Amino acid sequence: MNRRLALVTGASAGIGAAFARIYASHGYDVALTARRAEHLGRLAEEIRLRFGVETLTVPADLAEPSAPAAILEDLAANGRAVDVLVNNAGYGLPGAFAETRWEDQARFLQVLLHAPTELAHRVLPGMVDRRFGRIVNVASLAGLIPGGAGHTLYGAVKSYLVRFSQSLHLENQQTGVHVTALCPGFTYSEFHDVNGTREMAHKATPDWLWSGADEVAAAGYEAAEANRPISVPGAPNKTIAAVAKLIPDDWALALMAWQGPRMRKL
């Protein structure tokens, strides 16, 4: 194969689907993975017809510990290696930590922390050998600001992805592999549909804080090409991230506490 391959997790909709289209528009073949096989099939056909690239679909549930290895084995069986990895799969788990089931939190950690880390670890050696690679870890603005009440592990995991990406970025400066943590804020996608908080999120958040999935994915693509370790799409989100660095921790926590009753519901 002459074309490089981009693997996108959580590719069936939203930011993942937008990433798949962007990489296809730049001449990459794309491998799409998510739980919903029917959605993947429709997107794969759209991309193949629109951009003339090869599309592969690998339905998988990243909550299963065996999924990362199985996805890559499926691609290898088709003679393909991953040149671009977009770790996008994710969701939110509403509520206070003590009010949730550990089984749900464990699945959350598997999807948002263990799976992206394992996928990166498995594809990175090949990228280094080929002297080319792109890893985009879709983190969040929540990973750059203090933790708040509700969605207890979300900000913590996204902060991990930011630090993980920074370390990989530094380790691979001379390898041809670019690593970026993409940190969007509120984004129009299926994220809030999955946990049933879309209406509440829109009522609680002004329109100017929301970005489109295409806009977010484009920012991630550009940052990865430029080899920037962190990308925060949108001027409002950049401002929030900058202010969070400047104000004292106790002030920031007081602000998050003031926001707490609303955020615990989202």
Q: Which two tokens stand for residue 45?
A: 């056909």
Which SS3 state, helix, strand or coil, does residue 221 take? helix
Q: Which two tokens stand for residue 4?
A: 């490089």
Nearest Cα neighbor of 234 from 185, 179, 180 is 185
- Residues in CB range of 22: below 8 A, 6 or more apart: 217, 218, 221
Does the CA dihedral 141-143-144-146 come out positive or negative? positive
Of residues 23, 154, 160, 221, which has the active-site annotation? 154
- Residues in CB range of 206: below 8 A, 6 or more apart: none
Contact 114, 66 (CB under 8 A): no
Report the alpha-carbon angle 51-56-59, nearest 5.
130
Catalytic status, residue 23: no
Q: Which two tokens stand for residue 125?
A: 């050696």
Nearest Cα neighbor of 146 from 138, 136, 137, 158 is 158
Compute CA 190 distance to the chain's CA centroid, rounded to the nearest angstrom: 13
Contact 215, 233 (CB under 8 A): yes
Nearest Cα neighbor of 44 from 20, 71, 16 is 20
Catalytically active residues are 154
